[in-house]
Amino acid sequence: MSPDSPWIVWAVVAPLIAALLAAGFGPRATPLVFLTGVLGVPVSAAALAVQVERFGPQRHAIGGWGEPLGIELYADGLAALMLLVSAVVGAAVSVYASGFFGAGQAPPVPVMATDGSSVGYGHAPPVAVAGYPGGAAPAPPRAPHGVLAPGMPDASGAGQALTASPPADARAGRFFWPLWMLLWAALNALFLSRDVFNLYVTLELMSLSAVALVTLGGTDAATVAGMRYLLMSLLGSLLFLLGVALLYAAYGTLSLDGLASAAAGALDGGGSIPPATVLALAVMTVGLCIKAALFPFHAWLPPAHASAPAPASALLSGLVVKAAFYILVRLWLQVLPVAVPGAALRLIGVLGAGAVLWGSVLALVQHNLKLLIAYSTVAQLGYLFLLFPLLTDGGSPAAGAWNDAAWSGGIYQALAHACAKAAMFLAAGSMIHASGSDALVALDGISHRLPLSFTAFGLGGLTMAGLPPSGGFIGKWLLLTAAFETGRWVWAGVIAGGGLLSAAYVYRVLRHAFGRSEALPPPAPVPRRMELAALGLALVAVALGVAATRPIELLEVGAGPLAPMTGAMSEPGGAYADPAPGGSQSHEPISPDSPARGSGLSGAPARPPALPGAAARCAPILTGTLAQAPLPSTPGP
């Protein structure tokens, strides 16, 4: 693995090329789309992650033009991991979508609903509700399901019910691929952006593609939900842009590093934070919270995510909402931590707790599968925001003595949720197609009617409820650890109680899934690749619960404020600036004779190996032609 290979660029360019191919050549280009985008992104994301792991943060100036003129791409551990999850989820969704949209085959002849058992609630893909769409079925037939139940209306012909047919027509697929590839490119560029204006542009591009994906469902409900989503999303973007303008007016730079040192410098000189900075951060925060659907700005999310076609729902719930959270983490904790008082951390934590409780309660009263999963997203997003109050012991995040467990727990929860929730939405799409309805009651016996998809759903549910083995368990364990280390019981109560509520709403699906199904017609066959894509993604979520060491260590590369405070607000040689030789193991078992409460807050050099200490000492690896100063986060020797 050469440190100079520009994998960071390919992560953005590959889906962009794929988007152009898909837009220009339509369904014929699907194999090429897979070759460039679906294969290209995971390969470059994995390679980039290895580069960051080995050589520290990666930086690339596009075309050799660095800041302030050109566009820079930058990847630290956080960006690399987000990119990796985007790649994994994106690849699985793409495979699923190729079955869902019929992989460019001729659109199936629409068949009207043939039996009274289909209970359309308006949230299912339109054709899926219509029972058994006939027509040319591209996917190979699964094992025959035997004869239809006696007495079942059979107008569409038993023969067609035996072949797996795509749940949505290929016309929707024609728009899906270019939109999704554009979204993917924008999302990856967002994770790698290093200035606030690029963040705005990529956020906007991503949101517009996302809105278009919602309306692909074509139902009235989808159009209305898409419109609401568009308006809320625009509001969020405008607020963010306003903040960008205010910051530019105040500091004359848009670069994250420049902003961080300028803001820290203003404080270092004995001054206070300019009100414009605080205002800018405040409006940006509101905008981002709207986009991240943080309680109480969540109302747009459930209808939008529930009425989109299943692959789009998976992308929206798994990846898109994480983007706004990601920007918020960057701004609050790394760029402008000096403008974030401890009270703000607590406030956003309270909103997160509200989301956990309220989202779960609403998930408990839904009667439709996709709405239940969508409300679960609202609740699970709340967990991510618990990262903020648990990160410090009540003070500003600028000092840099972050609680390890809170940092890795919050982010890990985001990674695990991305995989698990996407898997659940994909599995839900298959189950809805098979049972012909989005209603929970139609899922009776789905555990043996559609075992692979149900297994994917159940394994995803483990992460929601935080049960082992799953990434969600690790995330909750770490967040709980952070709460107990600092003796804050209320947050521990929220984390534990939220887990119980999550288990309760996942149970509402289980109850039906293991029930009897003799009265139901046999399930419509589902293309095999749809089932396997969902299962694969769910297994990734499980694997995150077993092999968490490397991701968590990668997460520490480049963590901490971009411009660590000097002087009163931090101790030099504190946790993050300390290049502990060899890196001592965090949370090391402590002999009973010397009990130590916590480790992250004590300021002691107790950090996992491969820490910024070690990582940041590596000189930033530059590609292109432009020489760069060392990263601002590099501690001076």
Is the alpha carbon torsion for 474, 617, 629, 604 positive or negative? positive
Helices (H), 134-255: 158-161, 170-192, 196-215, 220-251
Distance of CA 361 to the CA centre of its chain: 22
Q: How far apart, in Å, do the first and last CA atoms of the chain sit?
A: 28
Which C-beta is closer to other proteins: that of 225 or that of 483? Answer: 483
Give residues in contact with other proteins (CB under 8 A). 143, 408, 445, 447-448, 451, 455, 462, 465, 467-469, 473-474, 476-478, 480-481, 484-485, 487, 492, 496, 499-500, 503, 507, 510-511, 514-517, 545-549, 552-553, 585-593, 595-598, 608-609
Shortest Cβ distance from residue 45 to other proteins (Å)? 22
Shortest Cβ distance from residue 289 to other proteins (Å)? 29
Q: Which residues contact 145 (CB under 8 A, 6 or more apart)?
A: 161, 162, 522, 523, 525
d(CA 1, CA 620) in angstroms, rounded, equals 16
Which C-beta is closer to other proteins: that of 315 or that of 495? Answer: 495
Shortest Cβ distance from residue 379 to other proteins (Å)? 16
Which C-beta is closer to other proteins: that of 527 or that of 551? Answer: 551
The radius of gyration of the chain from alpha carbons, rounded to an integer in Å, stands at 24
- Residue located via tokens 């848009």: 254
Which C-beta is closer to other proteins: that of 127 or that of 390? Answer: 390
Shortest Cβ distance from residue 535 to other proteins (Å)? 10
Burial 589-601 (b: 16+ CB within 10 A, else e): eeeeeeeeebbbb
Which C-beta is closer to other proteins: that of 147 or that of 155? Answer: 147
Which C-beta is closer to other proteins: that of 70 or that of 451? Answer: 451
Q: What is the DSSP string of 448-500?
A: HHSHHHHHHHHHHHHHHHTPSSSHHHHHHHHHHHHHHHTT-HHHHHHHHHHHH
Shortest Cβ distance from residue 343 to other proteins (Å)? 24
Which C-beta is closer to other proteins: that of 305 or that of 529? Answer: 529
Distance of CA 542 to the CA centre of its chain: 16
Shortest Cβ distance from residue 547 to other proteins (Å)? 8
Shortest Cβ distance from residue 196 to other proteins (Å)? 32
**Bridge partners of residue 190, in order along the sequence:** none
Which C-beta is closer to other proteins: that of 179 or that of 462? Answer: 462
d(CA 318, CA 410) in angstroms, rounded, equals 15
d(CA 279, CA 281) in angstroms, rounded, equals 5
Tokens of 606: 């107790």
d(CA 131, CA 119) in angstroms, rounded, equals 10
Shortest Cβ distance from residue 457 to other proteins (Å)? 13
Tokens of 565: 């405070």
CB atoms within 10 A of CB 144: 9
Shortest Cβ distance from residue 471 to other proteins (Å)? 10
Which C-beta is closer to other proteins: that of 220 or that of 588? Answer: 588
Which C-beta is closer to other proteins: that of 143 or that of 568? Answer: 143
Shortest Cβ distance from residue 582 to other proteins (Å)? 14
CA max distance for the chain: 83
Q: H/E element holding 59?
A: strand 58-61
**Bridge partners of residue 60, in order along the sequence:** 73
Angle of helix 471-485 relative to helix 404-435, nearest 10 degrees? Answer: 150
Which C-beta is closer to other proteins: that of 592 or that of 637? Answer: 592
Q: Three-state DSSP class for 632?
A: coil
Which C-beta is closer to other proteins: that of 131 or that of 551? Answer: 551
Shortest Cβ distance from residue 606 to other proteins (Å)? 10
Is the alpha carbon torsion for 96, 101, 104, 110 positive or negative? positive
- Residue located via tokens 């940041």: 616
Shortest Cβ distance from residue 545 to other proteins (Å)? 8
